[in-house]
Amino acid sequence: MKGIKNLRRFAGRNLTAKAIHVSDRFLASVKNSKAVDEAQIAGSLRRSRETIGDIDILASTDDPTTLRKAFLATAGIREVESEGETKTRVLSEEGIGVDLRIVTPEQFATALHHFTGSREHNTHLRQRARERSWKLNEYGLWDAADNALETPDEESIFEHLELAWIPPEMREDLGEVERAAQLFQQQEEWPELVELEQIRGTLHCHSTWSDGKASLREMVQSAADRGWKYYGTADHSRTASYAGGLSIEQLRQQRAEIDQLRQEFPDLIILHGIESDILSDGSLDYPDDVLAELDYVVASVHSNFSLAKQQQTDRIEKALRSPYTTVWGHPTGRLLLQREAYEMDMTHLLEVAAEEQVIVELNANPHRLDIDWRWGVRVQELGIDIGIHPDAHSVAGLDDIEHGVGIARKMGLTASQVTNTWKPEQYVERLAVHRLKA
Ligand SMILES: [Zn+2]
Ligand SMILES: [Zn+2]
CA of 368 to the centre of ligand 1 (A): 10
Which residue ranges form the domains of the chain, and what is each CATH number?
12-103 (3.30.460.10), 116-185 (3.30.210.10), 196-437 (3.20.20.140)
Q: Does position 12 have pLDDT exceeding 90, yes or no?
A: no
**Least-confidence region, from 190-194, 346-350, 434-438:** 434-438
CA of 234 to the centre of ligand 1 (A): 10
Report how far residue 238's alpha carbon sits from residue 209's, in angstroms, rounded to the nearest whole number. Answer: 12
Report how far residue 103's alpha carbon sits from residue 39's, in angstroms, rounded to the nearest whole number. Answer: 10
Taking the CA of 333 as reference, the closest ligand is 1
| Tens-place pLDDT, residues 398-407 | 999 999 999 9
**Least-confidence region, from 3-7, 148-152, 331-335:** 3-7
- Check residue 1 and give its pLDDT: 73
CA of 176 to the centre of ligand 1 (A): 32
Taking the CA of 391 as reference, the closest ligand is 2
Residue 28 burial (10 A CB sphere; 0-12, 13-18, 19+): exposed
Percent of the chain with pLDDT over 70: 97
CA of 301 to the centre of ligand 1 (A): 7
What does the mean pLDDT of the chain come to?
A: 96
Give the predicted TM-score (pTM) of the model: 0.95
Taking the CA of 393 as reference, the closest ligand is 2
CA of 409 to the centre of ligand 1 (A): 23
- Check residue 15 and give its pLDDT: 95
pLDDT band at 4 (very low <50, low <70, confident <90, very high): confident
CA of 395 to the centre of ligand 2 (A): 14
CA of 97 to the centre of ligand 1 (A): 32
CA of 391 to the centre of ligand 1 (A): 7
Q: Which amino acid is at 66?
A: T
CA of 260 to the centre of ligand 1 (A): 26
Sign of dihedral through CA atoms 120, 160, 138, 129?
positive
CA of 371 to the centre of ligand 1 (A): 13
| Tens-place pLDDT, residues 290-333 | 999 999 999 999 999 999 999 999 999 999 999 999 999 999 99
| Tens-place pLDDT, residues 227-286 | 999 999 999 999 998 899 999 999 999 999 999 999 999 999 999 999 999 999 999 999
Omega of the bond leading into 247 within 30 degrees of 0 (cis): no
Number of H helices, E strands in the chain: 17, 16
Taking the CA of 390 as reference, the closest ligand is 2
Q: Does position 184 have pLDDT exceeding 80, yes or no?
A: yes
Taking the CA of 207 as reference, the closest ligand is 2
| Tens-place pLDDT, residues 387-397 | 999 999 999 99
